[in-house]
Amino acid sequence: MTGSDPAASGGGPLLQLIAAGLQLWIRSQCEAVESLDLQLHGTALQMLRGQLQGLTLMARRVVYQDLQIEQVQLSSGALQVRVGKLLRGQSFQLDHPLQVQGQVAFTADGLTGSLARPRWQGLADTLGEQLLGLTPLKELRIVGDALIFAAQAAGESRLMELETCPRAVDGSLGLLSPEGELRLRLPMDGAIHITTAKLEGGMLQLHGEARVTP
């Protein structure tokens, strides 16, 4: 894995130390991170009090809980840090819930690979059954403004396909028909609220906010 050096704004070496600890903690929560750029925002005085104004994060090709994410861009509000623990060489720990907002982007290959993992098999079966009436789900493709789901019936050589348009629906990801009819609203973790869902640059892009708990 590769990644840039953690950056900090206005806090000097101590803030860089905290950024390094936070970067290591983020990597420990993921199965893989190809690149990670983390910036902390705050003053030296705020830092000594264990408080920071927030952070911004950009990462590429992240695997989190077997979910393959192509791009991540996040920012947060204020956060509290136990500076003494980091100075003693202890690992970073999140002591309080943290509100973040930003966007994540998925490729069709990444979504297909994620849904093939045992952790997400239940969701893959739900998508296949409710959208196409078939399981297992074989693949997802992005063509223009369409997210296409494909499944294959037993004994058949031809794939059955269905075009959908992703949209944010009541804080979750909704899959609509090309005519705008809601076909399926995906179950969503209560800590995550999606505000925008769209296909752009050949990827599924989700914008929203989430509450990260220790």
Compute the 3-state secondary structure of the chain and give helix, strand, coil in percent, each to the nearest 5. Answer: 25, 45, 30
Domain count, the chain: 2
Distance in angstroms (rounded) separating the CA atoms of residues 9 and 113: 38
Give the model confidence (pLDDT) of 63-117 as tens digits: 999 999 999 999 998 887 776 666 666 666 666 778 899 999 999 999 999 999 9
Distance in angstroms (rounded) separating the CA atoms of residues 33 and 27: 7
Q: Is the peptide bond before 136 cis (omega within 30 degrees of 0)?
A: yes
Q: What is the reported pLDDT for 3? A: 46
208 and 112 fall within a common domain:
yes
Give the model confidence (pLDDT) of 103-148 as tens digits: 999 999 999 999 999 999 999 999 999 999 998 899 999 999 999 9
Range of the domain at 128: 108-212
Distance in angstroms (rounded) separating the CA atoms of residues 125 and 148: 15
**Residue 92 forms part of a structural domain:** yes
**Residue 188 forms part of a structural domain:** yes
Q: Strands 79-80, 51-52: parallel, antiparallel or unpaired by DSSP?
A: antiparallel
Domain boundary among 96, 129, 154: 96
Q: What is the reported pLDDT for 83? A: 66
**Run of H or E including 125:** helix 121-127
In the structure encoding, which two tokens stand for residue 150, read together? 């494909």
**Residue 101 forms part of a structural domain:** no
Residue 155 has pLDDT above 90, yes or no: no
- pLDDT bin (cut points 50, 70, 90) of residue 176 is very high
Note whether 194 and 172 are within 8 A (CB).
yes
φ, ψ (nearest 5 deg) of residue 10:
85, 5
Q: Strands 32-41, 7-9: parallel, antiparallel or unpaired by DSSP?
A: parallel
